[in-house]
Chain A
Amino acid sequence: QKEVEQNSGPLSVPEGAIASLNCTYSDRVSQSFFWYRQYSGKSPELIMSIYSNGDKEDGRFTAQLNKASQYVSLLIRDSQPSDSATYLCAVNAGGTSYGKLTFGQGTILTVHP
């Protein structure tokens, strides 16, 4: 079982719709959770971080964390074609992990006009 799992997609949504991206993780002691966006040929760009249960909103993005279910998600409202990218979920276990991130393989999102 992979430590961080994402549906690789591709996930295709029409412009203006809500895109929902999901991620599960196996290590119960994980403490920090991040979503990165990666355009083809580019490096990962941090878009959201979340540390406690519940929702965190930033513009069109909402991250949701449920530690009991070991589940973190990212909602993108009013999706735009420019949101088309690979979205990477990253988890930090804390403690002696020194902040190293474990990534999922990424979900490819396509927003079509």
Chain B
Amino acid sequence: GAGVSQSPRYKVAKRGQDVALRCDPISGHVSLFWYQQALGQGPEFLTYFQNEAQLDKSGLPSDRFFAERPEGSVSTLKIQRTQQEDSAVYLCASSLRGQGREQYFGPGTRLTVT
């Protein structure tokens, strides 16, 4: 079946621009996670949704980062007034139930802020 999809795959933004990154999870997966991966590092947790509820946003690095999942399916991660330190790969993962079960990752969006 179809896996997790993300768009765009690559995004170049000028410093100060706003960007929106989209994630389409595996159909029927209740839980959705966003992670940020810097070069040479493991992914780091940003935020978690169970259906449409954002239950944990403790990993969002600043108030410039905002995520939503209004209908409990597609999610959007928005970064306002991008900074160079926001350059990273943004990964979305979904899980059938969450709560410590397997998570499946999308291909990621590589964001470069110039």
Contacts from A to B (Cβ < 8 Å): 4, 31-32, 34, 36, 42-46, 49, 51, 88, 90, 92, 94, 97-106
Contact = CB atoms under 8 A, between A and B. Distances in A.
Which of A36, A90, A98, A99 has the most chain B CB atoms closer than 10 A to its own CB? A99
Contacts, number: 69
B42 A99 contact: no
Contacts of A94: 99-100
Contact of A100 (B48, B89, B104): B48
A92 B98 CA distance: 10
B29 to A, nearest CB: 12
A88 B99 CA distance: 20
Contacts of A102: 45
A99 B105 contact: no
B108 A43 contact: yes
B106 A99 contact: no
A28 B108 CA distance: 31
Contacts of B40: 105
A99 B104 contact: no
A58 B26 CA distance: 23
B33 A42 contact: no
A21 to B, nearest CB: 13
Nearest to A104: B42
